[in-house]
A and B are shown apart, each in its own frame.
Chain A
Amino acid sequence: MMALTGARPRRFSGRLNPPAAVWVVLLLFCVFALAVPRFASAGNLENLLRVGSILGIAACGQTIVLILGGIEFSFGASAALASVVTVLALPSAGVAGGFAAGAAAVLLVGLVNGTLVARFSLPPFLVTLGMLMVAGGGAAVLAGGLPIDAPPSDAFSWPARGRVVGIPVPILAAAASFVLLHLLLAHTRAGRLWYLVGANGTAARLSGITVWRSVLAGYLLAGAFCALAAVILTSRVASGQPGLAPNLPFETIAACAVGGIPLAGGQGRAVQTLCGVLVIAMLNNAVVLLNLPVAYQQLMIAAVILGAVMLQQAPRLLLLLPVRPARQSEEDRS
């Protein structure tokens, strides 16, 4: 419990204090706008957001799992499974049916994750890592090991390329996801229970909370966010790919961490995740514009992510100052 009373004042979730990551977003935006040609053009920014929207939607799911004190590794593989299932179901079920089948596959993975974690008290790290392999393996088996192309159609590419009132559908979907996440976390009973369960599961149980139900609901909703991301991703690649988005879970975790959400559980806000996603989306976009070799792209992204996380969680470390020992409860004797 000493770790919980760290030196950094933590804010009440659900209030609209800007998280520290906002400054990282602004700083990075200014630097890239000045230093990277074409970065600040309207066309590029739209492209940046459209690419980042998939990460953003999945990160909404990751946020819920992190608040619950868990972690979700199976996102990428379940998105891959969804793409394969969607394309395989297309001929018989049509476009809408295909997407529904793919989304159902992701929800199923979330249900298994949630059941194993909530009802059998297995460690989320191992459960979701296992499901990453199960879903990835399942996708490979279904696809016969090779990507399968979807027959091109306007309806199929609408989730990734369509526009509503001039705004790309993925950006709208991501915006809706963040609004929904915020409402869930700050204004619903389920969201409140996630915070309580994540902060101290035993205390939650002794308070009369049915912990397993809350955990299961959390993983299911996380799966729902991932399902939406998977639909857009499948539409964009227009094929079923067993190896689709292998980095998705790690990028979502990085986004949450950059936003300042601790992995210890019980803390985190939608706006933090949004900031983290924007940081990573800008980075991904800038390294492409700079035309850096792929290896340098990765190193640069890694450096910025680690720097942002350190700025969030241990600012003194970043300035190479000695880290103060964690304070104990403050003394307020009356």
Chain B
Amino acid sequence: MTRTAITRQTRGDPGKIWTLEVSGIAKNYGATCALRNASLRLRPGKVHALLGENGAGKSTLVKIVVGAIQPDRGRIALNGVPTRFAGVRQAIAAGVIPIYQHLSLFPHLSVLENLSAFAIAGAAGLRARPALVPRATARAWLDAVGLDCDLDLPVERLSVGERQLVEIARGLGQRCTLLVLDEPTAALTHDETDRLFGVVRRLCAEGTAVLFISHKFDEIEALADDVTVLRDGVAVIDAEPLASLSRAELVRAMLGDMVESGERALPQPGAPMLIATGLMLGPAAGIATRPADITVRAGEIVGLAGLVGSGALELAAALAGARPVAAGTLAVRGETLPAGDRARAVAAGVGYVPADRHAEGLFGPLAALQNASSSTVALFSRGGLLRPGGEAAALMPWLRRLNLHPFQPERPAAGFSGGNQQKLLLSRNLAVPDLRVLVVLEPTRGVDIAARETIHDALVEAAGRGVAVVIASSDLDEVMALSHRILVVRHGSLDGELPRGTGRAALMDRLAGRRAA
């Protein structure tokens, strides 16, 4: 209903009105605050990059823009008209067209049927048999994105890049005011990327605004005019021209600029404990890799640092035997371990705290105590029977030491806050008898300050007992504060090593791929 009005405004007065103006957006998921105060202002005919680390609130903001979820607070205006989308369909009707990383086409249906999908979705009930878009019209849309293909071909026969163009063409049919590209190049070849960018530029020339979400700086610099950076749910760079910002400034904005590292005293490393030789992540990780040799000594804390998608987390997980690898061997104090076999790794004293607490760490409905004891059931059972009181005796000291709060070991793990859930996962590993290696991914993601201190203390203390500790974190302050040395991971491979005390700026330069310090 507002579509005609919008079009008129855009045509009548380009440049004066923001195509999309989003301000003061807040969104909570239960106790988790995804967005505090996010804003986004898009000029017509310009490409606007949205940057931020995982958990910064990017995807939440994008979902709000495309109408998939509703904000708790804040306002959205499309071409100056205050708007609130009740769902994705309304957003599409208003000309906000999302193109996802995971394509939203119907692979078994033809190109023509896919191009008609919005019309079909909008058709009322069972009465009307929705008409397909006329072939000539469909052809015109495809021409506009420079795609020449058979309209009757099933979409699954097209390449990923071609499919993305079909999605954009489908958006064009809807009078696209705002195109939302969510990591569109993740699965594209170089040529396909160029072709996509050409189409995007042509759309911009016609006045369409583009919201571009990507982790690749090269692409952002090649395509974007303006940039917004989110950190912890707040827009720390708010719709500034990209040309006015350096790459290092963007990385700093993304990762935060907090206190410098280096206050905590670390123990003296001893003999080599964990030796990984020729470790290569498989193609399953989606990254071509060079073999990595990593040695961690007893009492040493090694940090793996990398931007999102660099493979730092995957490499660390492989060190704990938590994921299969394409090649390479792991040895803990001379004992060789098969890759990807956690049972053997735990038996050899290798602890592991996964990055995704809920999916890979917690037993939500089970008691906190049972969560903490899952790696050590053998310790308090004899002849297949659980020794009465054995579990509490083995785990309670750790839960006390890590200050579980509230101290209710019988309470289901799902009922604890993120920081306390993390303490449960840490106790699970600290209680492993003869713990030799401890690999912790994202030690304090989504954790409050007090729990963060407790967890950091526990990691340093573990190193003090002679455990070889590996941490991988997207929180650079954490890596710098805890690590004896930092291994830089880019494209799934090691890309150099930085000693303790390396400055933040130098580290960020290295993560972004620049050698000069």
The residues of A with any CB-CB pair to B shorter than 8 Å are 1-2, 4-5, 9-10, 12-13, 15, 187-190, 192-193, 195-196, 199-200, 202-210, 264, 266-267, 327-334
Contact = CB atoms under 8 A, between A and B. Distances in A.
Contacts of A190: 384
A187 B374 CA distance: 15
Interface in B397-420: 403, 405-406, 410, 412, 414-420
Given A192-B370, A329-B414, A10 B377 contact: no
Contact of B352 (A12, A195, A206): A206
A199 B352 contact: no
Contact of B405 (A13, A207, A264, A334): A334
Contacts of B360: 200, 202-203, 206
Nearest to A264: B365
B366 A329 contact: no
Contacts, number: 129
A237 B369 CA distance: 48
The main secondary structure of chain B at its interface with chain A is: mixed
B352 A4 contact: no
B31 A209 contact: no
Contact of A5 (B354, B364, B366, B378): B364
Nearest to A2: B30
Contact of A10 (B30, B352, B412, B451): B412
Contacts of B322: 206
B365 A331 contact: no
Contact of A207 (B346, B403, B417): B346
A332 B417 contact: yes
Q: What secondary structure prevails in chain A residues at the interface with B?
A: loop
Contacts of B416: 329-330, 332
Contacts of B362: 1, 200, 203
A15 B411 CA distance: 12
Given A192-B370, A329-B30, A331-B31, A4 B378 contact: no
A58 B363 CA distance: 27
Nearest to B352: A206
A196 B428 CA distance: 13
B354 A12 contact: no
Contacts of B385: 187-189
B330 to A, nearest CB: 15
B342 A208 contact: yes
Given A329-B415, A332-B420, A203 B361 contact: yes
A195 B366 contact: yes
B428 A207 contact: yes
A4 B365 contact: yes
B332 to A, nearest CB: 14
B108 interface: no
B505 interface: no
Contacts of B147: none
- Of B366, B415, B417, B448, the most chain A CB neighbours within 10 A belong to B366
Interface of B: 29-32, 322, 342-343, 345-347, 352, 354, 358-367, 370, 374-375, 377-378, 381, 384-386, 403, 405-406, 410, 412, 414-421, 428, 448, 450-451
A329 B365 contact: no
Given A1-B359, A203-B354, 18 more contacts: A1-B358, A5-B364, A9-B412, A15-B410, A190-B384, A196-B363, A199-B364, A203-B360, A203-B363, A204-B363, A207-B428, A208-B346, A266-B366, A267-B365, A329-B415, A330-B31, A331-B417, A332-B405
B361 A196 contact: no
A324 B447 CA distance: 27
A287 to B, nearest CB: 35
Contacts of A2: 30
Nearest to A1: B358
Most chain B CB inside 10 Å of its own CB: which residue of A188, A193, A330, A332: A332
A2 B415 CA distance: 10
A200 B30 contact: no
B416 to A, nearest CB: 6
Q: Which of A10, A192, A193, A329 has the most CB of B within 10 A?
A: A329
A200 B362 CA distance: 7
B346 A329 contact: no
Contacts of B374: 196, 203-204, 207, 209
13 contacts: A5-B412, A5-B414, A10-B412, A188-B384, A200-B359, A204-B374, A205-B342, A206-B361, A208-B347, A209-B343, A327-B30, A328-B30, A333-B448
B413 to A, nearest CB: 9
Contacts of B352: 206
Nearest to B375: A207
B211 to A, nearest CB: 28
B418 A202 contact: no
B384 A189 contact: yes
Contacts of A195: 363, 366, 370
A310 B511 CA distance: 54
B30 A210 contact: no
Contacts of B342: 205-208
A199 B421 CA distance: 15
Nearest to B415: A330
Nearest to A267: B365
A121 to B, nearest CB: 15
Given A187-B386, A207-B375, A329-B418, A199 B32 contact: no
Contacts of B378: 189
Nearest to B30: A328
B417 A330 contact: yes
Nearest to B429: A207
A29 to B, nearest CB: 30
Nearest to B454: A334
Name which of B29, B343, B406, B419 has the most chain A CB atoms within 10 A of its CB: B343
A267 to B, nearest CB: 5
A208 B345 contact: yes
